[in-house]
């Protein structure tokens, strides 16, 4: 076993000749390239009985899924598509890794989302926006001539957890990606990924026709602009026939878009959708829009997009971040979910830990993903969870999708922190089946990444399951948000005040600390963002007495002396929460140290040193935030907690 984490969760031992004797991997001919990969994986690693890989064109309902069945003396994997057989093969290998009994097995797996996609924020110069695992995996300067072996390893890892699509480049997109020389490089990657059932998408810059096409402008209603996009799309599909489509960040944080020409998001998205439609391509159009106006940033996406409901083509999906501000440690869900009845919506998570301690902090994100997916929006009555609104259950969709911003780079362990691999894994597993629990996913991941020994699995799982709440506690408890240091978003800077900076990028905009209290009043007496939620959530969130305490300072400006449910004042509770976060991380260090004998020395030391950084950072957060907020609360820090340094 490599000790640098490069194998991820794919630590299969090759079979010996003796183990393979008498067992066959049977596939009907002719065998497509993807099925060939499935067969090779099983030929190399499968120690169980004979496996029959069957493509059954009558089983359309399986979509990209599969059936695994025990048949007297062998196993059968039945799928409707080639990809289904590949996913079925990885399922078998997972069961083998976990040491499961396969006798009598009979299960059917159908993915919850059609498109399960990673968004890379990788720039063409090799840097990665908000990337904390080294430079980009894509070697643009060497492509298409040199093909790094990591491209296939990357694709294989994705396929093993059901991810079937990737956006290669940053949403802050360079127009150059659409130049013919770059498209050749993209094709080279697509040719590798295709073997693992992965489709390539690109982020586009809305001004491309003007910047690289020599067109006078990029107005979506200008026939020349439309013709340029049609021709460009034709050119792409000529070399990449299974190209997925475009991801677009438009009129957001300074990016160009249709509004530059007084057109709407729908005008822009539909132009691209029309160009892609003949090839079955998709447009993922982001709803992450806000401007420094008097309107609460948390309300702006809803205000811009709800009026456009029904105006989008059926191959456009509106891609919405889980929370209305920006991938914070905890946010309520974006109220735009479910508020457009005639428009397909998808969720965007962030796996890379921009706001969660980069690749230094151990934060297992499945609980965050689940919290949002399971949130009830009440959009079509009780039970209208975000999962059901986006997976085709409650809203019809031509194709459904789910996305997350990748945390992958060229570090040998791919993600910087060994435990950040679990977040890539968790996203893939939830994109396949959003009913899996955080506990199940952690358990699978630990067993396949480290060891199946219960003495290791149980405590590590507990640590992982607690880690997101710990981060919320030591960074931003009780609904606090965006009090990060300016721009890099690593440490605390609630006092931050950049002269001449955008007011909506200043921490004070979000915490509003003053002698009266703390928090953003989004109730009817404030910005009234609560009104964007369906009943009864508007009332529940809008009333200080019924608002869940973990969102208190998100929705209300709360007096320091306000009494919490446990009897403490808000100020005291804030102190205890920060301290609890610190103590949780100290406990993680002890858990890890005790389990040294179960882990190889390299990974043990790597994680140990990162936990040290995390503990130090947690204290930094606690001290910085409490000492700063204390200048407003003017109350003592309880003696029961660890004293600020
Ligand atoms: O979270 C913010 C990041 C930006 C990012 C932007 C977005 C790619 O700070 O770096 O830009 O969101 O999602 O578009």
Give 53 Cα–ligand 1 centroid separation in angstroms.
43
Give 639 Cα–ligand 1 centroid separation in angstroms.
40
* Residue 469 designated active-site: no
Q: Tokens 């301290």 belong to which residue?
A: 579
Q: Is 135 in the same domain as 156? A: yes
What would the two tokens of residue 428 be? 């893939």
**Residue tagged active-site, from 41, 326, 331, 411:** 326
Give 354 Cα–ligand 1 centroid separation in angstroms.
9
Give 202 Cα–ligand 1 centroid separation in angstroms.
17
Distance CA 450, CA 254 (A): 44
Cis amide linkage into residue 277, ω under 30° from 0: no
Residue 270 lies in a domain: yes
Q: Is 509 in the same domain as 592? A: yes
Which residue, by CA, sits nearest to atom 11 of ligand 1? 172
Characterize the bridge pairing of strands 165-167 and 345-350.
unpaired
Radius of gyration of the chain (CA): 25
Closest approach atom of ligand 1 to CA 252? 14
**Residue tagged active-site, from 253, 454, 487, 596:** 253
Distance CA 387, CA 374 (A): 6
Q: Of 435, 466, 498, which one is at a domain's C-terminal end?
A: 435
Confirm or reject: Cβ of 301 under 6 Å from ligand 1: no
Closest approach atom of ligand 1 to CA 170? 8
Give 121 Cα–ligand 1 centroid separation in angstroms.
9
Helices vs strands, H then E, count in the chain: 19, 15
Confirm or reject: Cβ of 52 under 6 Å from ligand 1: no
Residue 527 lies in a domain: no
Q: Of 435, 450, 465, which one is at a domain's C-terminal end?
A: 435
98 neighbors 441 (Cβ within 8 angstroms):
no
Confirm or reject: Cβ of 349 under 6 Å from ligand 1: no
Confirm or reject: Cβ of 505 under 6 Å from ligand 1: no
Q: How many CB atoms lie within 10 A of CB 177?
A: 22
Confirm or reject: Cβ of 129 under 6 Å from ligand 1: yes
Distance CA 247, CA 317 (A): 10
* Residue 253 designated active-site: yes
Residue 532 lies in a domain: no
Q: How many domains does the chain have?
A: 3
Q: Is 172 in the same domain as 105? A: no
Q: Is 23 in the same domain as 120? A: no
Domain with residue 336: its CATH number is 3.20.20.80
Q: Of 61, 77, 109, which one is at a domain's C-terminal end?
A: 109
Domain with residue 583: its CATH number is 3.90.1330.10
Confirm or reject: Cβ of 171 under 6 Å from ligand 1: yes
Q: Is 308 in the same domain as 424? A: yes
pLDDT on residue 494: 96
Confirm or reject: Cβ of 297 under 6 Å from ligand 1: no
Which residue, by CA, sits nearest to atom 1 of ligand 1? 326
Q: Is 345 in the same domain as 213? A: yes
Confirm or reject: Cβ of 121 under 6 Å from ligand 1: yes
Distance CA 553, CA 525 (A): 14
**Residue tagged active-site, from 82, 219, 348, 354:** 354
Out of 248, 251, 285, 354, mutate this one to test ligand 1's pocket (max ligand atoms within 8 Å of CB): namely 354
Out of 131, 285, 288, 301, mutate this one to test ligand 1's pocket (max ligand atoms within 8 Å of CB): namely 288
Residue 466 lies in a domain: no
Confirm or reject: Cβ of 327 under 6 Å from ligand 1: yes
Q: Which domain holds residue 68?
A: 17-109
Out of 128, 132, 172, 286, mutate this one to test ligand 1's pocket (max ligand atoms within 8 Å of CB): namely 172
Residue 451 lies in a domain: no
Give 172 Cα–ligand 1 centroid separation in angstroms.
8
pLDDT on residue 645: 75
CA 633 and chain centroid, separation:
37
Q: At what angle do helices 180-194 and 149-160 cross, to 10 degrees?
A: 50
Confirm or reject: Cβ of 130 under 6 Å from ligand 1: yes
Q: Is 135 in the same domain as 211? A: yes
Which residue, by CA, sits nearest to atom 12 of ligand 1? 326
Q: Is 486 in the same domain as 574? A: yes
206 neighbors 171 (Cβ within 8 angstroms):
no
Q: Is 234 in the same domain as 371? A: yes
Q: Is 223 in the same domain as 329? A: yes
Residue 211 lies in a domain: yes
* Residue 41 designated active-site: no
Domain with residue 70: its CATH number is 3.30.379.10
Residue 574 lies in a domain: yes
Q: Is 157 in the same domain as 292? A: yes
Give 130 Cα–ligand 1 centroid separation in angstroms.
8
Characterize the bridge pairing of strands 74-79 and 115-119.
unpaired
Which uninterrupted H or E stretch holds 347? strand 345-350
Q: How many CB atoms lie within 10 A of CB 310?
A: 10
Mean pLDDT for back-to-back runs of 10 residues, the chain (645 residues): 84 94 93 97 97 97 98 96 98 92 95 99 98 98 98 98 99 98 98 98 98 98 98 98 99 97 98 98 98 94 98 98 98 98 98 98 99 98 98 96 98 98 99 98 96 96 99 98 94 88 87 97 98 98 98 98 98 98 98 98 97 98 98 97 89
Q: Is 585 in the same domain as 625? A: yes
Closest approach atom of ligand 1 to CA 489? 9
Give 248 Cα–ligand 1 centroid separation in angstroms.
13
Q: Is the complex ipTM more than 0.95? A: yes
Residue 74 lies in a domain: yes
Q: What is the 3-state secondary structure (H, E, C) of 38-74?
A: HHHHHHHHCCCCCEEEEECCCCHHHCCCEEEEEECCE
pLDDT on residue 252: 97
Give 55 Cα–ligand 1 centroid separation in angstroms.
42
């Amino acid at each position: 076993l490599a000790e640098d984490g490069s194998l991820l969760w794919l630590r299969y031992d090759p079979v010996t000749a003796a183990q393979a004797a008498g067992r066959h991997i049977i596939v009907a001919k002719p065998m497509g390239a993807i099925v060939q990969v499935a067969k090779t994986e099983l030929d190399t690693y499968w120690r169980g009985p004979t496996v029959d890989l069957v493509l059954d064109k009558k089983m359309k309902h399986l979509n990209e899924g599969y059936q695994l069945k025990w048949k007297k003396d062998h196993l059968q994997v039945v799928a409707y598509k080639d990809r289904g057989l590949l996913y079925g093969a990885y399922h078998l290998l997972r069961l083998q890794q976990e040491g499961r009994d396969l006798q009598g097995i009979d299960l059917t797996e159908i993915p919850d989302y059609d498109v399960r996609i990673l968004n890379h924020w990788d720039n063409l110069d090799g840097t990665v926006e908000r990337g904390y695992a080294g430079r980009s995996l894509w070697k643009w300067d060497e492509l298409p001539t040199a093909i790094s072996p990591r491209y296939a390893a990357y694709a294989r890892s994705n396929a093993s957890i059901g991810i079937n699509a990737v956006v290669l480049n940053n949403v802050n997109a360079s127009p150059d990606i659409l130049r013919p020389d770059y498209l050749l490089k993209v094709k080279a990657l697509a040719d590798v990924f295709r073997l693992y059932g992965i489709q390539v998408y690109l982020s586009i810059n809305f001004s491309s026709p003007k910047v690289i096409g020599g067109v006078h402008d990029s107005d979506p209603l200008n026939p020349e602009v439309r013709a340029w996009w049609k021709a460009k799309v034709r050119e792409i599909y000529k070399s990449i026939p299974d190209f997925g489509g475009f991801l677009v960040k438009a009129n957001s944080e300074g990016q160009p878009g249709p509004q530059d020409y007084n057109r709407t998001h729908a005008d822009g998205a539909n132009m691209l959708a029309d160009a892609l439609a003949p090839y079955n391509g998709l447009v993922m159009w982001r709803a992450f829009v806000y401007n420094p106006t008097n309107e609460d940033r948390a309300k702006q996406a809803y205000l811009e997009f709800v009026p456009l409901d029904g105006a989008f083509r059926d191959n456009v999906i509106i891609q919405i971040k889980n929370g209305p501000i920006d991938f914070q440690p905890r946010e309520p869900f974006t109220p735009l979910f479910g508020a457009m009845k005639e428009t397909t919506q998808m969720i965007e998570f962030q796996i890379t830990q921009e706001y969660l301690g980069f690749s230094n902090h151990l934060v297992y994100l499945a609980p965050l993903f689940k919290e949002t997916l399971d949130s009830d929006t009440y959009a079509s009555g009780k039970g209208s969870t975000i999962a059901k609104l986006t997976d085709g259950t409650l809203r019809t969709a031509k194709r459904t999708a789910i996305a997350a911003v990748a945390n992958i780079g060229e570090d040998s362990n791919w993600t910087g922190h060994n435990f950040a691999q679990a977040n890539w894994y968790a996203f893939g597993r939830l994109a396949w089946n959003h009913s899996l629990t955080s506990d199940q996913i952690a358990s699978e991941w630990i067993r396949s990444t480290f060891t199946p020994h219960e003495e290791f699995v149980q405590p590590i799982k507990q640590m992982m399951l607690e880690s997101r709440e710990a981060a919320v506690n030591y960074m931003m408890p009780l609904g606090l948000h965006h009090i990060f240091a300016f721009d890099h978003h690593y440490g605390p800077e609630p006092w931050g005040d950049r002269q001449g900076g955008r007011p909506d990028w200043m921490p004070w905009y979000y915490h509003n600390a003053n002698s009266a209290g703390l928090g953003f009043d989004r109730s009817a007496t404030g910005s009234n963002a609560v009104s964007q939620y369906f009943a009864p959530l508007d009332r529940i969130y809008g009333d200080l007495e019924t608002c869940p305490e973990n969102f208190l300072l998100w929705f209300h400006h709360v007096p320091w002396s306000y009494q919490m449910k446990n009897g403490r004042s808000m100020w005291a509770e804030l102190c205890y929460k920060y301290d609890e976060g610190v103590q949780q991380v100290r406990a993680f260090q002890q858990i890890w140290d005790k389990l040294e004998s179960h882990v190889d020395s390299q990974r043990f030391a790597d994680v140990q040193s990162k936990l040290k950084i995390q503990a130090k950072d947690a204290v930094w957060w606690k001290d910085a935030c409490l000492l700063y907020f204390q200048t407003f609360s003017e109350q003592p820090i309880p003696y029961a907690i660890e004293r600020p340094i």
